């Protein structure tokens, strides 16, 4: 081959018209290698046109090699213009070669078909019917590539047509079969299934049992199965799911146990009719007194309280009994939030919160912020016997803390309580928005893009190729426009209601739903310390008198009126 590169005309070396199909196959692959060495030479010598002619070759492997080379060159092209005109003639040639070429070639053909947009539903259905047999292939890459094409074409058709419904039924068995492969293939299949069920949960809604964890599954398989189980959970299968999750919570793998306990909480939030059963299951787990189980249970119960306020307060006493065992920041912060939120129903709420102040400076920032807010809530609900406690925490937050977020929040509360307690109540005790059923769903635009990259690394990472492939230039793939009904379903998933009911947080951190429970760094008005480190002044000023008496602030009292 080196001799040809030096002495012979290029077209004599690359025999695209040779009688032997093996030679034509190698010639097609050689163009890809030559393009890496000298891209301009490939264009000048007309090799791209020769490759396009090979797409009509009688040998399916030659067609696959030519298509693979064109695809690779297209991906590295700086122009962004497709090298293959995907018209009806080309599509028919590719579909003809699909049934006869090797697995490697089938993957390239299916990938090219996924970038084609049929002119109408009839054409799309015709292509789907010819691709469907690939779902029964023994190779996982071929199966997932076929699923990718079908997912895209189904999006183009009416959402409730008989053809789409039949296609949904046909997609389930091959996906289930992939879970019988070796663990590495299983993991790739599970990551792709995670995307598929976010787009079309109906495909696997009756296959919950295949995602139940086996004792010998690797941990990465267990965690992925657990995530899919929650996505498929519904009122119809919640009983068996809870039974499984409760069993998982007794395993020896700590990470898996933690995720199982959190999964029970997600079930309670997702399936309202079974929330009470989920809470009962969490209480049973708390009774085991296993430290990390108890702490995870406290965290998820806080989320359940956010979803169903004033509904399960009877379990607060049980949570308080385990207060001394909590040593993780998230669990301690969750327990403090519960005490502050339901302070009027906990007789010794002030004693419980005061116990955290002993080591305030040693606490995690998350715990400090939550403790500050909880004590202010307690003061607004029971001002007569908690004045010293709120002054102590405000002093710790504003004068002894080096955390700017904590200081800013302390100054905000200080100013609110000292100038306008009514506004403080409106802010601190405001009704909180409901949390969403599922907060880890991918953003719809990103999901559409990833569906077009099923069977690639993008579908495993759940990131677009541009996020991890340096210098990625190829055309961005997206699903075609969806029907109006799909948009309505998307809005419903995001929590948009016609009657303007309670707002639902789409994703933690994406919206400022509860300002007081977030780390805010806004610039509150600074309050100077006393000169020479003197004792702190009365932090509440005349605001306390107003709060206790219920009257308007007295302008004659310093700090009682807004500046």
Nearest to 517 by CA among 439, 423, 437, 428: 428
pLDDT at 79: 64
Nearest to 454 by CA among 146, 170, 62: 146
Angle, alpha carbons 160-163-169 (nearest 5°):
90
Instruction: Write phi, then psi, for 117 (nearest 5 degrees).
Output: -110, 105
CB count, 10 Å around CB of 495? 17
What are the beta bridge partners of residue 505?
Answer: 435
pLDDT at 394: 92
pLDDT at 439: 65
Instruction: Write phi, then psi, for 359 (nearest 5 degrees).
Output: -120, 45
Helix (H, G, I), strand (E, B) or coil at 504: strand
Q: What is the pTM of this model?
A: 0.77
Distance of CA 454 to the CA centre of its chain: 17
Nearest to 525 by CA among 396, 401, 366, 410: 410
In the structure encoding, which two tokens stand for residue 223, read together? 């965690």
Q: Is the dihedral of CA 550, 553, 559, 563 positive or negative?
A: positive
Could you read off the pLDDT tens digit of each residue along the chain, which spans 563 residues?
433 444 345 555 556 777 888 888 888 888 888 888 888 888 888 888 888 888 888 888 888 888 888 888 887 776 666 777 788 888 888 898 898 888 989 999 999 888 888 888 888 899 999 999 999 999 999 999 999 999 999 888 877 678 888 999 999 999 999 999 999 999 999 999 999 999 999 999 999 999 999 989 999 999 999 999 999 999 999 999 999 999 999 888 999 999 999 999 999 999 989 999 999 999 999 998 899 999 999 999 999 998 988 888 888 888 888 888 898 999 999 999 999 999 888 888 889 999 888 888 889 999 999 999 999 999 999 888 888 999 999 999 998 888 999 999 999 999 998 888 888 888 888 888 878 776 678 898 999 999 999 999 999 999 998 888 765 555 567 676 654 434 344 444 444 444 444 444 444 343 333 333 434 333 343 343 433 344 444 555 555 555 555 444 444 444 443 33
Distance of CA 96 to the CA centre of its chain: 39
């Amino acid at each position: 081959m080196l001799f040809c590169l030096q002495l012979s005309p290029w077209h004599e070396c690359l025999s695209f018209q040779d009688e032997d199909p093996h030679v034509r196959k190698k010639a097609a692959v050689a163009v890809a290698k030559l393009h890496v060495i000298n891209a301009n030479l490939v264009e000048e010598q007309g090799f791209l046109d020769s490759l396009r002619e090979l797409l009509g070759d009688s040998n399916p492997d030659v067609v696959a090699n030519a298509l693979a080379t064109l695809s690779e060159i297209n991906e590295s092209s700086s122009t962004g213009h497709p090298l293959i005109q995907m018209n009806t003639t080309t599509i028919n040639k590719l579909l003809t070669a699909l049934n006869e070429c090797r697995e490697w070639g089938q993957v390239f053909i299916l990938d090219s078909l996924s970038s084609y947009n049929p002119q109408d539903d009839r054409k799309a259905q015709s292509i789907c019917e010819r691709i469907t047999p690939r779902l029964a292939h023994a190779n996982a890459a071929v199966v997932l590539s076929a699923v990718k094409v079908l997912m895209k074409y189904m999006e183009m058709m009416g959402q409730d047509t008989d053809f789409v419904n039949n296609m949904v039924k046909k997609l389930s068995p091959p996906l289930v079969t992939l879970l019988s492969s070796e663990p590495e293939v299983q993991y790739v299949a599970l990551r792709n299934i995670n995307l598929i069920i976010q787009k079309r949960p109906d495909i696997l809604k009756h296959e919950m049992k295949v995602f139940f964890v086996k004792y010998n599954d690797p941990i990465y398989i267990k965690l992925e199965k657990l995530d899919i189980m929650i996505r498929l959970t519904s009122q119809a299968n919640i009983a068996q799911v809870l039974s499984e999750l409760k069993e998982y919570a007794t395993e020896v793998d700590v990470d898996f146990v933690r995720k199982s306990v959190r999964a029970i909480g997600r079930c309670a939030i997702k399936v309202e009719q079974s929330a009470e059963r989920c809470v009962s299951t969490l209480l049973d787990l708390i009774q085991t007194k296993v430290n990390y189980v108890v702490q995870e249970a406290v965290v998820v119960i806080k989320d359940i309280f956010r979803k169903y306020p004033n509904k399960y307060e009877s379990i607060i006493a049980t949570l308080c009994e385990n207060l001394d065992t909590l040593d993780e920041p998230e669990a301690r912060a969750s327990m403090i939030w519960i005490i502050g939120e339901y302070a009027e129903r906990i007789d010794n709420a002030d004693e419980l919160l005061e116990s955290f102040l002993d080591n305030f400076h040693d606490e995690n920032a998350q715990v400090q912020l939550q403790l500050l807010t909880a004590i202010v809530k307690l003061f607004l609900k029971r001002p007569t016997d908690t004045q010293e406690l709120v002054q102590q925490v405000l002093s710790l937050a504003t004068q002894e803390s080096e955390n700017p977020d904590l200081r800013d929040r302390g100054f905000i509360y200080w100013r609110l309580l000292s100038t306008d307690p009514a506004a403080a109540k409106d802010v601190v005790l405001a009704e909180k928005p409901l949390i969403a059923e599922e907060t880890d769903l991918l953003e719809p635009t990103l999901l559409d893009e990833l569906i077009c990259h099923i069977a690639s690394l993008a579908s495993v990472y759940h990131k677009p190729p541009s996020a991890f492939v340096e210098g990625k230039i190829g055309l961005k793939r997206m699903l075609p426009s969806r029907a109006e009904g799909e948009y309505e379903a998307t809005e419903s998933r995001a929590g948009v209601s016609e009657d303007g009911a309670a707002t639902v947080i789409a994703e933690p951190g994406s919206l400022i739903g509860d300002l007081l429970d977030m780390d805010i760094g806004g610039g509150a008005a600074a309050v100077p310390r006393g000169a020479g480190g003197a004792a702190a002044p009365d932090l509440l000023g005349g605001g306390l008198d107003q709060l206790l008496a219920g009257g308007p602030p007295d302008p004659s009292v310093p700090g009682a009126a807004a500046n």
